[in-house]
Structure 1
Amino acid sequence: MYWYRLNYVATQYSIAGTTAKGIAASVERAVADGGLGPGDALPPVRRLADELAVSPGTVATAYKELRQRGVVVTRGRGGTVVAAAPAVASRRPPKVPAGLRDLAGGHPDAAFLPDLPALVAPSTGPRSHRSTPRLPLLEERVHAWFDRDGVPSGHVTFAHGALDCVARLLATELRPGDAVAMEDPGYHHLLDLLQAMGLRTVAVAVDDEGMRPSELKEALRSGARAVVCSPRAQNPYGGCFSAGRRDALAEVLRQFPEVLVIENDHAAEIAGAELNSLTGGGLARWAQVRTVTKYLGTDLRWAAAACDPVTLARHDGRLLLTSGWVSHLLQAAVLTLMNDPSAQLLVARAEETYGERRAAFVKELARHGISAHGASGMNVWVPVRDESAVVNGLRTRGWWVAAGARFRLAADPGVRITVAGVDPSEAARLASDFAGVLGESEATYGG
């Protein structure tokens, strides 16, 4: 038995095994069963080797295998600890406590989601979905969708949502241990995904115009083999590429033609900002991924990607060997909503309303002397000095917001507030509560 203390919480667990695979399996079982939780420390290599009567090399190999599969991370002198989102655990977001207003989930306002169409019966007779994986009418519609915003649409494909697409693109391009330049703060599910894939993240700071060119250049110089970024509605910061920032980033990227650039335009129709895409900047390897879950329906797990021909071939080759195709029933539902005038009118209203709500909240915070970031999208990022104090303080006042820790690599602390459902009439109260909590935090914790 081992007792370790982390964040003032005692954790008890046992590790067994006489081979690297056995030791790794023992740790993995403990994580899956809940005996080891995120952040819990594993014994130092030499200590565990002595206890199990194996060589330090055997334990080191076990820890390396666990790192490559996203179960643990190494923090230098901080030792080896269970990952924040270990790939073997069925970890789900915590349930919102009863009576609290959920501003943490990143969800759209359900009032602006169109009704889903009735399922279309599949056509009768034998057919090969693998040979025709995309409905021709939807593929035609997707070409027009990308063309409208100046994204080269010569090669398009479909996937089961944005994360599914990004994961497949990276899996066909990179190997465990390779580095990916990521936004900081960035989308926590993407950060967790890279960790689970055994990829290293290289932080690139963002501001209201997206990734900073100088930091991106440093990340690429350090060996990053791929870049994942958001051209607008950046989650959680809300930044969006200006034309000037787009050009500056493209200039940097053209110096590294072998690097795969993935744009995640996840909120294309409701971002509240025009698209200034890197994809038309003369890049050799690129993909832009779009999905519809934020404005057509959260259960529509479908995404489209426009990309260069090499990237397309690698993505579709892997898709063919796994799920084969995206459900034609799902594709038919997406096509119906894309062509439904009433649904598209609702989407346009959503984009306008989210912009008003975002601006109203940022304005109300400013009245209290609080700076915030939310140039586009559904979220507002508010820098704070003590995330826990702010999250817990707002909880006592009826608001449930997201601590910034899960979004950050090296960025300063902050909280993410999803304002999609916060009416301008409520913005003043939320901002006032936020200011009150900040005051209490400064008095209690010194800021």
Structure 2
Amino acid sequence: MQNYTIILVLWKYKLGLRELRKPSHVRLFVVAPPRILQDESNVDVYYQVEPPMADLNNSQLLEKVRELCSIYTSSQLRLVVFERKLQRPIAQLRKELNIEGFLPDQLDILFSVRDAISNPRRNGLATLRQCSLSGTPQPEQWMEAVKAQIGGFPAIVEPIKPHTANSIGIIRNELEFKSWFRRQSKAHRFEEYLVTEYIDDGREFSLLCTSKNGIIGCISSLESHRLVIESIQSQKPFGFEFFSVQQTRDILPGLESFAVQVMRSVFPRGYSGILFIKGFYKNHNDIFFLGFSLEPEWDTFRQLLSIMKPFFFWECLAIENLYDQEPANDLAESKKYNAILNFPSSEGILIHQTTIHKRCQEMRVAWRASEGQEMSDSDSIDDNVVQIYLSCTNRERLLEDCSTILDQTDITIDKNVLSERQNVAKRNLTVKELIRSCTTTD
């Protein structure tokens, strides 16, 4: 039996490994700053390094990892990270030291929306039509390109470079297209935009898959009549559900075979580890592929996954998938249905933390803003005033309670205070009357 050496690299992601199933032929080393590893169970050696002085400076982490790799070259080495900012430097290490796992060129395919979609499209999978716009904004010419390549409006326009939710436009017609680009050109200077056809009446999903176990769970948007980005921009509450394997098969039929097709088209020679497949589900015949990620994209997703513990530890499954470990019989098969509700923040001051009455069998409320706190408009899935976690053995009851909470919960936010402050500031900045003066010398 081969000996495996797993090197887990952590930066800011706090993690416990009590539930990890680690056989005797596997050694687990952790390289991380102090107080990041919350539970040292199943860890053979914990190497602490000083935390980086700046967000982009992780050289000490990488130096320690490189040192360990040079020592344990005789065993099957695997490098594991759960944070997006560490994926590329660790991939570069894998390439330099010839270690199995995702390499930089594969990450480019995974992280580039256009490249990630191109392979499945060539292999006959349904993807959303897209076109890119670059250079100096030319609304008339760009409008013709949108009509020719994606069929016109409505459409979703977003910058290629990292951006926020408020820089994404849901464009309904040609007039909105022109006005949106006019506003964006004044506020931002993005060089390239990606335009994607708009679809509705379905669910956005993130499907968890491993190379050995196939699908192991699915995160799905709660509402089908509105996109999540639309809820964020309009400050309307929204939610997500988590489905186990069997629940995914029952509620979203066809998704499992869709995942197999995607993985075969993108990774014909297979892959190791865990992947999140992003897509849009209308019905078993209309499933659209939207891209990949190597970890939950949002803290909201991580929190939703944590509800499943002790039935489901996605981090442990990701590590176990790297060596010869039989999957657990009860893998993620909780009998409960789980959901999380997000109430996006809005510009103003939170007046009162409203009482939210318990409805489901299990429910807890987490306020993300304190009374009297100044807030700005939500800019992502994770910018919320309050989050509500619900679990129930009856899905119909769960959905009914979610709908009631979303419709009836009223959060008091004073939006006038900030506008009054702005008016006072403008009055103080009025132009002062000039006084004529001169200087004389003898």
Normalised TM-score (structure 1) = 0.27
Select the structure that is richer in strand. Answer: 2
| CA radius of gyration, larger in | 2
Greater length-normalized contact order (CA 8 Å, ≥ 6 residues apart): 1
Normalised TM-score (structure 2) = 0.27
